[in-house]
Structure 1
């Protein structure tokens, strides 16, 4: 078989897989199917290898080349274009054929001649005929729409970094760049940014379907939730009300979906035919070591053709698109958009160095989007040096999987290092010492004013290690099960439920995880991260640190950590395994000198200390201080600084140390001197001089003593001195005169309203016409009166009225800490009208009247009420106290229903029941 014949056979097979019918010219039958590929079709410039017909219309050509030719297939693009522009024999239409293919059978390249700047691209496989028909039915191509029809981005509710990311991406797509990288710091809203872009690509770009790729099932759930919560700026409906979003759980893509969320593992399984282990979607690809038996190749799947997606958004693209998994991206004919907070050289290379947005962690801290962090180290002897178990020592031996123990002797001396801990050896004392040291540090040094343990996340090595840590945490802190929970995929308790509680509820205070919430998962209240495991990957470590960087407002932080006294201003990374030293991280703690007072940092900078540690520490303190100051303090600082806000002073220090800007400044200085320089020819002295100049400009404001003093004064106002020396005593107790005057106005407004509306409001007319209309008072009448009183401008709520009477007529108001009920409005009206001499809760009045009524009844009856009847009468009394009255239908409510309801009451009281209810309605509410 010649190379030419072999290439043609491979092309024929691929066309048939894609739904094309292959025909020779002598047997042409354009009615045989929707898509017909005719071999050796004659044109006025010679026979074309294949001409493609869709619904009997010629739409494209394929130029076939042998695979072994050694030629770059792009060299025949002119030949393909010649056939597309040629006159086809017997053809009625004269327009140029739009779809151009070149193929060796192994390689397929495609050009859409209708694009604004036609450019060929490599395909995994040929398109199906219905795809070409769909494109032909559209007035513009996708790439033309991206270049010419995308409207300006509405900027409402978007951060500057998000605006820059979406606009940068759309500019890249307009230029037909196939790959784009969005680099945004953790916490800056990457997913929200991506959904904004997805919405615009669907609505204005006319995209048919978009794939959102993740590498863990948990991140897929989180992304789906964000799609459901997203409301576009130009439509009041949610995203999922406008477009169908599918979270892929099987092997079939919903034909009606516009967005498909899938793990890359599942999509690989679908395309390769490799069965998927459900647990594979629960582990980050950072933690998966690929072996030879995994390398099954992706193959064409007619149910999911290469044109299934127009765009693929790859979340956490720094880890999920290489080696084995790259095949998934090579399969689809789609623009690739990467999202990451931690790119590396491999990431930049994959996306052709097309970085459409770059927003670093340091920038996010300066902008207040994220918070800075401090590093606190814990080291133990065993962690550092290891230890040794001697032969014939009686110790527990524990099965790693079942955790079943047996008591036995060691067979030989067994030295171990810190790296062996929690793998071959578990040392409970080491875990206990670390946890105790963390507890002491947090309570005495890190967050000494907190009454509760700050939300803390502990990274464990394995699931078994996590169990050991949890047991130790509960013991050291003296707390129960709810205090510390495991959040891993292997946990018996639903991990999503525990994670939700960790975010939103008081407990758990401490969570222990292996990998489930190591990356991508939002837990904003986190303020402490404890590393009890080392990490192989620099990017993964940055992602794990990212769990703590998210900023959080004061009210939201206080909701789960009640003793917090400000918004979240930082988090603390506690390193118990040397993870910070074992890796050089791209993002760095801004607080390099956490023990140096702010006053000394300010003085040091003024005296000329311009090293990175001092400048960055001062910057972090200023950015943090800006979040804590009130408007008055900020204004005082700005007056002295010449109008520069405190936060901006800090950001300027961070910006001054930006390496890229320093190089730009050095190049500009050289150019100003008439010297042409390239970046790699700058000398160390030139870069140092540029740095010194930039840092000097940023530090110049701190030369002013009055600014330093004002900043320090503002900081001192945030702290309190506790005086245990001077003993105080009470000289006066009571409300102020001003408060009493306001209370009198409130009472008068209430009295005036009652007098003015006594005839038109049912509840008021009831009291004015006592005792003849007692039976008519209902809960609806009281609710109506309350609603009228609480409207502006009166705003007379039950609580406000009760408080006013307590201030003005304290001797006549019964003191109570009980929460006000709506029926207490009855007591207020009666007191205002002079029907009662004392203001007391309505329920207490009902209790007193009930005692009088039942005593009178028992005295008049031949036999007193039985204990069971009395209990039922008390239930009726309680219902009247909360609802004003009782009727037969009320026996369906829980208090009665679980005791037998109306049937039981009737059996107990018989025909007396209705009369008793009528009496109680009148007597108890009178």
Structure 2
């Protein structure tokens, strides 16, 4: 079969450009066969202008609209140089026509394409994946102004209801838009309202800049659902209607994108599959795919199957793309999705790393750190409490001669086994190769003890029972989570509702469990592997218990972010009755997670023995290279010889009827050159000889290999991968019930003590700095004899000023700091103002130790009564004593009593001022003055 080999580089570029134009809906015509009525969009080659023939002139609805300047592929680096040339063509008169300058100008090699819209205020070329569709250009021409010009007229932001950090982010972002910056990064601490900020600026883009469609991109289904809820509840300042009443919001659950949707919410996995023309296995949306180290490694070294032009989803489908959690969603495989669209990119993250900042071209329009959010009272700070056990640190040895339980990992069935040799295991083997119930039990038992005595000691309910704060436990695996849950229920003497697992693999609806954890009394403790490690809002959380280590600093920061959320006291008490308010949260570190070495990003595996889980995940998500496919094929060949007939039958249910031999063969065939050429030749034989150009032959081979790769990779899905991984694993775990663990450390982290000292110091310095300005402080410091005159209003003034200027110095938090530094014998008062008075007295030196002021008043009252009765036996009658106790109780809550207070509750019900005068006569005023002085002593 003859093959034409004489095509020059210019013609190869033109062939590619022709194909790109056809894909985008243009009819490509030669100048001698022009028929502008043949379709909406026509691209005419070599059309004559007054300055020479233009490579392509674009016509829409018979009117000229644009120019394409074609260059050879090896001139891709020179496209910016030829902008003047293409501009000259665009400004020239076309033969036969008295046209205005053409606004849409492209320069292309068929591989690299640049585009300039000369309607823009300061026209600037940009790289685009392909050409825009004729119908899009028709829509653009209907408007008087381009999008970038419309952005200049966005009105001033109405700041009502917005936090300062949100105001800065939106104003700076819109300034970036007006400067035509294609990428912008918003760094905003977890809990600071990133999605609300996004909903605000998206609303403004739709309303004031007439944006056609905005994409809100996430990387897990869970985050997509949360974003949808945020848009459903968002109400703008200038309209009484909800966002979803004004604009159509569509969360993609298939490949269909509605024409009338103005906001699309999608996982990046789904969008990638749409652009690849493949069905998405929904399990791919459950976990963050960037936690797969093999996936990252292969994509860092090799190109994944590239996305291709999709007419149903053109490059201009979205004007703006908002990328949530962008620190993990913008690289490698996923970067192709972002490069495909001709859109502004806005990244949202709490934890950007160097790569994130680089991707967004260092255009960080706002930076709001966790530390700043804590200072502002947007988030709460945290303390670290360490629990360490002997086996957690050093492992143990299961000695020969013992009868030991062994548990099947897949079925969890147990059998007894007489160990015939010693088995040593280390801390990294725990809950994988070996399960030691004593190790888990001792951590949970110590956590329970530390909760009651040290971490949150003042949580006794009206029945005298300890109320466990809402706790989230991070486990290593689903199996590990099951073991933890069983032991928690036993150690806390509680039932099933007390502790629940929240992962995607539970039988119960995980969203239902999560909602109960967030909004209901039970469960008190939730155990997760990674479903609520990031991006999930559970405001009442007060403890994070780490029973798994984390090597990525970004991932660890995201996990910590689950505890940072603020919550008002009323909402908190709906789920935790004994909690007054959330001033901080506690990280209980049982595995050294806070001390282990962290990296900027997830470590890239470079070992020959890459986990099969990662190989499976990479193939499933579209990574395609020979090394990957052959590595996986090799693993499956070995596995095929190991698994039982029953397991082979079960596998067919998840693989679409393919056995391991067939799956393996497809993986190998995808990179077998003979198989590729044989498949390509069948297609080439269908093409007339005169049309068989080298480019066409290469394209046919490329498509043949892509089909083989697709055939091999589409077999894999979440269920099959999970089954293969479970079957591959060593079938049994050793249950070490022989080695009994002991707690070796249970204490606050040193930095927590340092932090406590700093808090006490800051509180003392604040009081000192304001002692002359605030009346109550002035009395405590300078006129201690006047303490009897301090009123509720005065203490309230101190509290309000403290909350406004130093939210981090809340009385609860300062009290907790004192408990870490000295022995505090009395419990913290339930009333926050009373706690504040107690702290002020301690700082001023009135009390040598921190004591609850309500207890001080009680003691002072008892002492006073004792003296009264000692001087003259039973000085007061029973009714008088009842009134004196009412006065004491009033001082406990109001710090001071006036004569006029006797006309109000509870005194009015007993006869008020008149009754007291009847009981005490002329001594009434003296007794009130004396009690004010004595009780406040």
* Fold-level similarity (TM above 0.5): yes
- Counterpart of 1:834? none
Show CA shifts across 1:160-213 (max 9, x none).
011111111000011000100000111100000000011000100111001101
Match of residue 90, structure 2, among 72, 84, 87: 84
Is the contact between residue 599 and residue 712 of structure 1 (CA under 8 Å) also seen in structure 2? no
- Counterpart of 1:297? 306
Show CA shifts across 1:412-455 (max 9, x none).
43211111111111111111111111111111101111131000
Residues in 2 aligned to 1:246 and 1:589: alpha-carbon distance in whole angstroms: 49
Residues in 2 aligned to 1:80 and 1:730: alpha-carbon distance in whole angstroms: 106
Residues in 1 aligned to 2:199 and 2:417: alpha-carbon distance in whole angstroms: 58
- Counterpart of 2:795? 633
TM-score by length of 1: 0.67
Is the contact between residue 498 and residue 523 of structure 2 (CA under 8 Å) also seen in structure 1? yes
Are residues 67 and 371 of structure 1, via their aligned partners in 2, closer, same or farther at CA, if it must alter by over 3 Å? same
The structural deviation recorded for 1:637 is 8.2
| Aligned length in residues | 663
Match of residue 7, structure 1, among 2, 13, 25: 13
* Structure 2 counterpart SS, 1:154: coil
Match of residue 844, structure 2, among 709, 730, 736: 709
* Structure 1 counterpart SS, 2:12: helix
Mapped pair 1:230 → 2:391? no
Range 379-388 or range 264-273, more displaced: 264-273
Mapped pair 1:414 → 2:420? no
After TM superposition, the structure 1 = structure 2 runs for residues 901-916 of structure 1, keeping only pairs within 5 Å, are none
* Structure 1 counterpart SS, 2:588: strand
- Counterpart of 1:448? 457
For structure 1, the 5+ residue unaligned runs are: 608-628, 651-704, 740-802, 809-926
- Counterpart of 1:204? 208
- Counterpart of 1:215? 219
- Counterpart of 1:869? none
* Structure 2 counterpart SS, 1:378: strand
- Counterpart of 1:540? 555
The structural deviation recorded for 1:638 is 9.6
Is the contact between residue 162 and residue 193 of structure 1 (CA under 8 Å) also seen in structure 2? yes
Greater radius of gyration (CA) = 1
Mapped pair 1:571 → 2:585? yes
- Counterpart of 1:668? none
Question: How much is the aligned-residue C-alpha RMSD, in angstroms?
Answer: 3.4
The structural deviation recorded for 1:511 is 0.5
Range 433-442 or range 286-295, more displaced: 286-295
After TM superposition, the structure 1 = structure 2 runs for residues 352-431 of structure 1, keeping only pairs within 5 Å, are 352-410=361-419, 412-431=421-440
Mapped pair 1:28 → 2:57? no
Mapped pair 1:731 → 2:878? yes
- Counterpart of 1:193? 197
Is the contact between residue 30 and residue 36 of structure 1 (CA under 8 Å) also seen in structure 2? yes
* Structure 2 counterpart SS, 1:512: strand
Residues in 1 aligned to 2:95 and 2:187: alpha-carbon distance in whole angstroms: 53
Residues in 2 aligned to 1:496 and 1:730: alpha-carbon distance in whole angstroms: 63
- Counterpart of 1:501? 516
Are residues 474 and 18 of structure 1, via their aligned partners in 2, closer, same or farther at CA, if it must alter by over 3 Å? same
Are residues 296 and 70 of structure 1, via their aligned partners in 2, closer, same or farther at CA, if it must alter by over 3 Å? closer
The structural deviation recorded for 1:635 is 3.3
Is the contact between residue 735 and residue 807 of structure 1 (CA under 8 Å) also seen in structure 2? no
**Structure possessing the higher relative contact order (Cα contacts under 8 Å, 6 or more residues apart):** 2
Show CA shifts across 1:546-580 (max 9, x none).
00001111111111111112x21000000011010
Residues in 2 aligned to 1:442 and 1:74: alpha-carbon distance in whole angstroms: 65
* Structure 2 counterpart SS, 1:458: strand
Show CA shifts across 1:20-77 (max 9, x none).
0000111100000000000000001110000000000000000000102464221111
Is the contact between residue 98 and residue 114 of structure 1 (CA under 8 Å) also seen in structure 2? yes
- Counterpart of 1:882? none
Residues in 2 aligned to 1:644 and 1:515: alpha-carbon distance in whole angstroms: 37
Match of residue 124, structure 2, among 119, 122, 126: 119
Are residues 30 and 707 of structure 1, via their aligned partners in 2, closer, same or farther at CA, if it must alter by over 3 Å? farther
Mapped pair 1:154 → 2:158? yes
* Structure 2 counterpart SS, 1:579: coil
- Counterpart of 2:178? 174
- Counterpart of 1:593? 754
Is the contact between residue 77 and residue 102 of structure 1 (CA under 8 Å) also seen in structure 2? yes
Residues in 2 aligned to 1:408 and 1:730: alpha-carbon distance in whole angstroms: 79
Are residues 373 and 648 of structure 1, via their aligned partners in 2, closer, same or farther at CA, if it must alter by over 3 Å? closer
- Counterpart of 1:822? none
Match of residue 102, structure 2, among 97, 100, 121: 97
Match of residue 457, structure 1, among 447, 472, 481: 472
Match of residue 136, structure 1, among 126, 132, 141: 141
Is the contact between residue 637 and residue 711 of structure 1 (CA under 8 Å) also seen in structure 2? no
After TM superposition, the structure 1 = structure 2 runs for residues 616-765 of structure 1, keeping only pairs within 5 Å, are 632-633=794-795, 635-636=797-798, 645-647=805-807, 709=844, 720=855, 731-732=878-879
Residues in 1 aligned to 2:134 and 2:760: alpha-carbon distance in whole angstroms: 73
Match of residue 482, structure 1, among 483, 493, 497: 497
Are residues 638 and 429 of structure 1, via their aligned partners in 2, closer, same or farther at CA, if it must alter by over 3 Å? closer
- Counterpart of 1:777? none
- Counterpart of 1:841? none
Is the contact between residue 552 and residue 598 of structure 2 (CA under 8 Å) also seen in structure 1? no
- Counterpart of 1:529? 544
Is the contact between residue 501 and residue 526 of structure 2 (CA under 8 Å) also seen in structure 1? yes
- Counterpart of 1:325? 334
Residues in 1 aligned to 2:246 and 2:23: alpha-carbon distance in whole angstroms: 34
Are residues 637 and 317 of structure 1, via their aligned partners in 2, closer, same or farther at CA, if it must alter by over 3 Å? closer
The structural deviation recorded for 1:804 is 15
Are residues 733 and 210 of structure 1, via their aligned partners in 2, closer, same or farther at CA, if it must alter by over 3 Å? farther
- Counterpart of 1:271? 275
Mapped pair 1:339 → 2:348? yes
Is the contact between residue 373 and residue 590 of structure 1 (CA under 8 Å) also seen in structure 2? no
Are residues 411 and 590 of structure 1, via their aligned partners in 2, closer, same or farther at CA, if it must alter by over 3 Å? closer
* Structure 2 counterpart SS, 1:489: coil
* Structure 2 counterpart SS, 1:593: helix
- Counterpart of 1:315? 324
Are residues 632 and 604 of structure 1, via their aligned partners in 2, closer, same or farther at CA, if it must alter by over 3 Å? closer
* Structure 1 counterpart SS, 2:52: coil
Are residues 266 and 232 of structure 1, via their aligned partners in 2, closer, same or farther at CA, if it must alter by over 3 Å? same
- Counterpart of 2:260? 256
The structural deviation recorded for 1:724 is 9.6
Is the contact between residue 57 and residue 67 of structure 2 (CA under 8 Å) also seen in structure 1? yes
- Counterpart of 2:530? 515
* Structure 2 counterpart SS, 1:465: helix
Is the contact between residue 374 and residue 808 of structure 2 (CA under 8 Å) also seen in structure 1? no
- Counterpart of 2:61? 55
- Counterpart of 1:492? 507
Residues in 2 aligned to 1:357 and 1:710: alpha-carbon distance in whole angstroms: 44
Residues in 1 aligned to 2:321 and 2:275: alpha-carbon distance in whole angstroms: 16
The structural deviation recorded for 1:584 is 5.5
Is the contact between residue 372 and residue 589 of structure 1 (CA under 8 Å) also seen in structure 2? no
Residues in 2 aligned to 1:585 and 1:602: alpha-carbon distance in whole angstroms: 35
Residues in 2 aligned to 1:124 and 1:39: alpha-carbon distance in whole angstroms: 21
Residues in 2 aligned to 1:428 and 1:31: alpha-carbon distance in whole angstroms: 79
Are residues 719 and 58 of structure 1, via their aligned partners in 2, closer, same or farther at CA, if it must alter by over 3 Å? farther
